[in-house]
Amino acid sequence: MPPVSPRNPLPGPHSAAILDRARRVTPRAVAWHHPVVVARAEGAVVYDVDGNRFLDLTGGVGCLAVGHAHPRVVQAVREQLTRFTHTDYAVLPYEVYVALCERLAHLAPGNAPKKAVLFNSGAEAVENAVKLARAYTGRPALIAFEGAFHGRTYMALTLTSKVDPYKRNFGPFMPEVYRIPYPYPYRSPFPDPDQTVAYCLERLLEAFTLHVQPDRVAAVVVEPVLGEGGFVVPPPGFLPRLAEICRAHGILLIADEVQTGFGRTGRMWAVEHFGVEPDLLVAGKSIAAGLPLSAVIGRAEILDCVPEGGIGGTYVGNPVACAAALAVLDILEEERLLERAVRIGQRLLAAFRDLQDRCPSIGDVRGLGAMVAMEFVEDRRTKKPAPNLVTRVISRARERGVLLLRAGIHGNVVRILVPLVIRDDHLSEALEGIARAVEEVDRPLPEEEADRTISG
């Protein structure tokens, strides 16, 4: 299919009518990044109700490693729907739950015996990982990182480190959560990545003196790559040294792989790049191709520390979602999508670095596997964040038929969460659309357009 740009302006008339209805019956807090009402989707292509075609580099915020409506997932879901849709696993167990936990335990990094337990969302899995850590250690405190995102329920939101739009006016938050810096090479005052790592870990050790005694800390909760925080890839030494500190003090290491897992970085789990075996690993998003499902995977003795009925929920491990997840695992293996993620990431990094050479507003290009981002700044010397530029890049890209997402604590990062099944020609088309959008935005604005952007 040749490139087809949307019929601008957007939204089209049918999308506009539906969005107008939405404004009347849904709160403004439930906003949308793109004024595009989806009619159908396949692979990495989305069609809206006005007949416009878009290349989807948002991937349902990272839920669609195997793409929209993969035939294997659709078949697995359809077959499970004809059997049964729900029993509550704690009331009447079913094999598809067991089969998925077997595979997750087998895929978990490290050699220690593993078990897995299923939930509905990433935030719910984070909350239950915290419960398990506290029950196993008998300790109350947690340590998280600046720039982290772990979800929106109250414990997860406490761990999350961004006020707007997530935390404003929602306090008070949960007690006994302490925060230290995450190694952010681009914004570090130190030229050497090892110095950046040393500084952050010194703040952790300092916290044991100033804020919380280490023998009261149950767990450190960490994203192997910051997701919402801006796709920040830590220097190689950070996670191994963090794991050493945790072991020295009897603190559990919880890896939040909700966004990084299921092949996004070119490995099944991002921690595998760093040679780290977390005590607990939290998975979600792409686990079931967008159906509500998440998991906590970890050392068997930790998951067995809670008595019967101590963790669970009515809908957790829904059989339809479990069937989808088993299909996802088959697809990842049979279509070699981890290797595909590496190749996609190489193309993205090369294209974005070439663009960076031409466009001074791109301060940094970074990524791990297909988890790639561009950070926009007003000035490369001061590195002042430029969120308005990102807004305009996303808008211009959408006009060219490419859907993008922002990230970063200042909202000045464009992140790529493209389905790993994207066709090469579609990826080329998307990269061309992004390049044209960035080049247009990177030029100085005409005075009249600049006034509109500032006022808007």
Q: Exactly one of 115, 285, 352, 376 is catalytic; which is it?
A: 285
Instruction: Give the Å distances, CA to CA, from 249 to 139, 243, 392.
Output: 12, 10, 47
d(CA 439, CA 430): 14
Q: Exactly one of 149, 238, 274, 352 is catalytic; which is it?
A: 149
Residue 225, burial from CB neighbour count under 10 angstroms (0-12, 13-18, 19+): buried
Do residues 418 and 427 touch, judged by C-beta distance below 8 A? yes
DSSP secondary structure string, 397-436?
A: HHHTTEE-EEESTTS-EEEE---TT--HHHHHHHHHHHHH
Sign of the CA dihedral 303, 156, 241, 372?
Answer: positive
Torsion of CA 102, 108, 114, 119, to 10 degrees: -70
Q: Is 115 a catalytic residue?
A: no
Q: Is 20 a catalytic residue?
A: no
Q: Exactly one of 48, 50, 256, 279 is catalytic; which is it?
A: 256
Structure tokens belonging to residue 107? 């895929």
Q: Is 285 a catalytic residue?
A: yes
Nearest C-alpha neighbor of 179 from the set 129, 142, 234, 209? 142
d(CA 456, CA 443): 19
Q: Which residues are catalytic?
A: 149, 256, 285
